[in-house]
Amino acid sequence: MIKRFIRRVLGLQAEGALRLGRDKHGLSRDALHPSAAKVCAVLRDGGFAAYVVGGAVRDLLLGIEPKDFDIATDARPEQIKPLFRRAIIIGRRFRLVHVMMGGETVEVSTFRGADPHAAEKDEHGRVLHDNVFGTQEQDARRRDFTINALYFDPATEEVVDFHGGLADLKKRRLSMIGDPDTRYREDPVRMLRAVRLAGKLALTIEPATRGPIRSLAPLIERVPPARLFDEMLKLLLSGHASACLRQLRDVGLHQGLLPLLDVILEQPLGERFVTLALAQTDERVLAERPVSPAFLFAALLWHEVLAAWKARQKRGERPIPALETAMDEVLDTQCAKLAITRKLTATMREVWSMQPRFEMRSGQRAYRLLEAPRFRMAYDFLALRAASGEVPAEFEAWWRAFQSADAEARQAMLLPETAPRKRRRRRRKKLPAAASQAA
Ligand code: ATP
Ligand code: MG
């Protein structure tokens, strides 16, 4: 006790861990998912230590339902696998085990002991390889934040705390383990994780942890685009995207992420649009309704597309080809840093390129648009544009009414045909049966 006190006063790393009983933290083994509890029990019966660790412990202590349960153990992958009927070893650099149990996949990792001094790094301090097994204490030290380094032992209902995570959790404080500057350099994604966790869990980023982010922000550019995309998606779909983006701005991390987010947020019209899109997304996530990442990314980048589109039209390009090239331009810039998947960009393009078609509210064009496979998403997008004041509200109202109207009412709503005859004739052939009947 005295020794620990002296070490703390001297600012030294805690020696060993605090093992805190249930009376100190209130977490019961009953709160675990049965599969996670079972995996721990099996490992323990096999003679190994087994803890629930990371996000799950943190979330449970905060009274939030965890997304998944990670288990940490002193057993090696080849010792873990035979204990379970359905288990596979995955990962090449650092091997871990996926145990399939009761429809769930539980991830079981052996304690990791990367020595950050010995690890191979790039010239900015980013760790390139760390793949050695280690002790529980080492495993705790290589985790990012104190609140993410809590181990819950279902057998004893004790929480093992090496870095004061429990105290930080009680104060709703996010603190980096070790020297924040070094830890961000090792893995710049930790900056994004700090923002996401703070936004999602309403935590304050402790000053020393927050301090270096602004100046280290450019290191984000060195993170592989696919990983950046994954992290950004997690952030946007956290149910607290608005709060997270506010945090991103506050800590000075928004530049270079969605490279153009900065610009977007500075345009008054764009800001309103993005804010609305994020609020809508958060609402859906919290209500456990499905959210389309394509819709969200399309929204985040729309005002960039608009700006590029307008610039091209000003230079004399025709509207539709100009929109096509504007979309290419924006997506190329984005994907260089943030690898938005192809499936997503295809949908984003569809939604964007349908927007000008909403302006044509005459006969066959209106029916054709209504039949388009992405109509619903494109219409929701139009509604967002109207709500942000970008297009007249009357547009959206017309399309809303048109969708739900019967054939006769639809017919009466149509505006007179204004397009040149030639194109009208060419497209008439493709008219869907229902539409030609109504026409
Ligand atoms: P989420 O609720 O999003 O799942 P999480 O904290 O569980 O949050 P995961 O990506 O599932 O995030 O990671 C599990 C654990 O692994 C973390 O709690 C943390 O201990 C550790 N970890 C994850 N990413 C890093 C990182 N970049 N650096 C250090 N430790 C990390
Ligand atoms: Mg997790």
Question: In this structure, which residue's CA is closest to atom 18 in ligand 1?
Answer: 54
pLDDT at 355 (0 to 100): 95
DSSP characters for 133-167? Answer: B--HHHHHHTSSBGGG-EEEETTTTEEEESSSHHH
Question: In this structure, which residue's CA is closest to atom 21 in ligand 1?
Answer: 143
Token pair recorded at residue 340: 């938005």
Q: Where is pLDDT greater, at 71 or 406? A: 71
292/328 Cα distance (integer angstroms): 21
Let me know if residue 68 belongs to a domain.
Answer: yes
pLDDT at 181 (0 to 100): 97
pLDDT at 221 (0 to 100): 85
* Catalytic hit among 59, 74, 130, 144: 144
Q: Which residues are within 8 A (CB) of 192 and not within 5 positions of it... i.e. 6 or more apart?
A: 220, 228, 231, 232, 235, 253, 257
Q: How many domains does the chain have?
A: 1
Q: Where is pLDDT greater, at 375 or 261? A: 375
pLDDT at 338 (0 to 100): 81
* Position in ligand 1 atom list of the atom nearest CA 56: 7
Q: Is 120 helix (H, G, I), strand (E, B) or coil?
A: strand
- What DSSP element (H or E) covers 294? helix 293-314
- Whether 163 is in the pocket of ligand 1, judged by its Cβ within 6 Å, is no
pLDDT at 128 (0 to 100): 60
- 224 pLDDT above the threshold of 80: yes
Tell me the pLDDT band of 125, cut-offs 50, 70 and 90. confident
- Whether 187 is in the pocket of ligand 1, judged by its Cβ within 6 Å, is yes
Partners of residue 160 on adjacent β-strands: 19, 151
Residues within 5 Å of ion ligand 2, judged at the Cβ atom: 55
Question: In this structure, which residue's CA is closest to atom 10 in ligand 1?
Answer: 55
Tell me the pLDDT band of 9, cut-offs 50, 70 and 90. very low
Q: Is 176 helix (H, G, I), strand (E, B) or coil?
A: strand
- 117 pLDDT above the threshold of 80: no
354/369 Cα distance (integer angstroms): 8
User: Which residue of 61, 71, 143, 232 sits with most ligand 1 atoms within 8 Å of its CB, as the best mutation to test the pocket?
Assistant: 143
Task: Identify the CA nearest to 232 among candidates 327, 107, 381, 338.
Answer: 338
- Whether 201 is in the pocket of ligand 1, judged by its Cβ within 6 Å, is no
pLDDT at 131 (0 to 100): 64
Half-sphere exposure of 246 (CA within 13 A, CB side): 12
Let me know if residue 268 belongs to a domain.
Answer: no
Per-residue pLDDT tens over the stretch 264-282: 566 666 778 888 999 999 9
What sign has the CA pseudo-torsion 257, 262, 263, 269?
positive
Let me know if residue 230 belongs to a domain.
Answer: no
Q: Where is pLDDT greater, at 433 or 229? A: 229
Question: In this structure, which residue's CA is closest to atom 17 in ligand 1?
Answer: 54
pLDDT at 363 (0 to 100): 76
140/147 Cα distance (integer angstroms): 10
pLDDT at 96 (0 to 100): 92
Per-residue pLDDT tens over the stretch 163-207: 999 999 999 999 999 999 999 999 999 999 999 999 999 999 999
Let me know if residue 29 belongs to a domain.
Answer: yes
Q: Where is pLDDT greater, at 214 or 415? A: 214
C-alpha distances in Å from residue 13, one per residue of 53, 179, 205, 317, 428:
20, 11, 20, 64, 76
Let me know if residue 165 belongs to a domain.
Answer: yes
Ligand nearest to the CA of 238: 1
pLDDT at 362 (0 to 100): 80
Residue type for 424, please?
Answer: R
**Whole-number mean pLDDT of the chain?**
86
* Position in ligand 1 atom list of the atom nearest CA 55: 7
- 318 pLDDT above the threshold of 60: yes
- Domain holding 81, by residue range, is 1-170
What is the mean pLDDT of the segment spanning 96-113?
93
Angle between helices 375-387 and 363-371 (to 10 degrees): 110
Per-residue pLDDT tens over the stretch 419-432: 554 444 455 444 44
pLDDT at 99 (0 to 100): 97
Q: Which residues are within 8 A (CB) of 146 and not within 5 positions of it... i.e. 6 or more apart?
A: 163, 164, 165, 168, 175, 176, 177
pLDDT at 11 (0 to 100): 38
Let me know if residue 208 belongs to a domain.
Answer: no
Q: Where is pLDDT greater, at 5 or 44? A: 44
Would residue 68 show up in a list of annotated catalytic residues for this protein?
yes
What is the mean pLDDT of the segment spanning 310-332?
94
CATH of the domain at 94: 3.30.460.10
Count of other CB atoms within 10 angstroms of residue 128 = 10
Would residue 187 show up in a list of annotated catalytic residues for this protein?
no
Task: Identify the CA nearest to 133 among candidates 154, 116, 110.
Answer: 110
What is the mean pLDDT of the segment spanning 276-301?
91
Let me know if residue 135 belongs to a domain.
Answer: yes
- 4 pLDDT above the threshold of 60: no
Token pair recorded at residue 15: 């020696």
Q: Which regions of 63-112 does DSSP assign to beta strands (E)?
A: 70-73, 87-90, 96-101, 104-110
- 434 pLDDT above the threshold of 60: no
Q: Where is pLDDT greater, at 407 or 149? A: 149
Ligand nearest to the CA of 197: 1
Q: Which regions of 247-331 does DSSP assign to beta strands (E)?
A: none
Q: Where is pLDDT greater, at 421 or 237? A: 237
Let me know if residue 106 belongs to a domain.
Answer: yes
pLDDT at 433 (0 to 100): 44
- 49 pLDDT above the threshold of 70: yes
317/15 Cα distance (integer angstroms): 69
**Dist. CA 362 → ligand 2 center (Å):** 51
